[in-house]
Chain A
Amino acid sequence: DQQVKQNSPSLSVQEGRISILNCDYTNSMFDYFLWYKKYPAEGPTFLISISSIKDKNEDGRFTVFLNKSAKHLSLHIVPSQPGDSAVYFCAASYTGANSKLTFGKGITLSVRP
């Protein structure tokens, strides 16, 4: 049972435009969500996170939105840059789970120059 779902396997965006990466979850106990960026043969790099007490968190070009009622979060990248091309993983955790993360399958973002 996939508790964190990233239903779109890939996304292609023109440089300078907005990239919107979506993520859905099923476990209502999740209270902390993170986005990671990953290049092939490398470990994931932390991008941005959001607690369930918030509905938005912004860090530079990256903004994460959380809709708890819909169990949905999204990562917005604006403006998108070619260097943003990578696989993006959504992850979730909940208090009391020893802080372990549950990952989605990832979305491959391609930013076209």
Chain B
Amino acid sequence: GAVVSQHPSWVICKSGTSVKIECRSLDFQATTMFWYRQFPKQSLMLMATSNEGSKATYEQGVEKDKFLINHASLTLSTLTVTSAHPEDSSFYICSASLERSYGYTFGSGTRLTVV
């Protein structure tokens, strides 16, 4: 089945620094990947849709200059949290789908803590 690998699983960084999170589709090509954010006991909120070879589509309220998304290949999308602040601390999850009927496969998530 479709496997999505996300790295790192957790990261602690200082305020003002940038953090890159990688999302890879291991056994299929994904022209589209999705980035979500989850606060404790809250729903998964879609941040942006990552499109291979083109600009990402951001959801309303998500700062595209703060959350940089690059989808340079059919198997890799990256999310860079720039100039991180403590309020950026959250659980970030990516997903990709080979086909909608197969269900979307999610990465294992990245716990970001900004101190």
Contact = CB atoms under 8 A, between A and B. Distances in A.
B37 to A, nearest CB: 11
B46 A98 contact: no
Majority-rule SS of B interface residues: strand
A101 B46 contact: yes
Given A43-B107, A45-B106, A49-B103, A102 B46 contact: yes
25 contacts: A32-B100, A34-B104, A36-B106, A41-B91, A41-B109, A41-B111, A43-B4, A43-B6, A43-B95, A43-B107, A44-B93, A45-B106, A46-B105, A46-B106, A93-B100, A98-B32, A98-B49, A98-B57, A99-B97, A100-B49, A101-B34, A101-B95, A103-B45, A105-B41, A105-B42
In the A-B complex, the 9 residue pairs with the closest CB atoms: A46-B103, A43-B106, A105-B43, A103-B44, A103-B43, A43-B109, A43-B108, A44-B106, A43-B93
A25 interface: no
B43 A106 contact: yes
Interface string B21-51: 0000000000010101000011111100100
Interface residues of B, number: 27
**Of residues A43, A49, A89, A93, which shows the largest number of chain B Cβ atoms within 10 Å of its Cβ?**
A43
A100 B104 CA distance: 9
Interface size class of A (residues with CB under 8 A): 20 to 34
Contact of A101 (B6, B104, B107): B104
Contacts of B41: 105
A21 to B, nearest CB: 15
Nearest to A104: B43
A60 to B, nearest CB: 15
Contacts of B32: 98-99
A100 B105 contact: no
**Of residues B106, B107, B108, which shows the largest number of chain A Cβ atoms within 10 Å of its Cβ?**
B106
